[in-house]
Amino acid sequence: MIEKQVTVHLKSGLQARPAALFVQKASSFSSEIYIMNGDKKVNVKSIMGLMSLAISSGSTITLVADGSDEKKAIQSLETFLKKD
């Protein structure tokens, strides 16, 4: 299992279109992947769960991945969140 803290740089945060793209990217990995914001933890492959976190630009979140491609998943999702 890997945990990684990431600051979100997306201008609109993880709302609407960016959230859908993030879920699509996460779904391409076989690992279980979660995102934590404060005391809430949701499966990143769930658009409704992800949007319920209301993650805005500048938020620091924690990505958690567990599985055969966990390292690749964390790297890919971190890169996505750091795009301006």
For the stretch 29-80, pLDDT in tens is: 999 999 999 999 999 999 999 999 999 999 999 999 999 999 999 999 999 9
Q: What is the mean pLDDT of residues 21-28?
A: 98
CATH number of 2-81: 3.30.1340.10
pTM: 0.94
Phi, then psi, of 64 in degrees rounded to 5: -130, 125
Least confident of 3-7, 13-17, 18-22, 33-37: 13-17
Q: Which residue has the tokens 């879920």?
A: 23
Cβ atoms within 10 A of the Cβ of 5, count? 10
Give the per-residue pLDDT at 84: 73
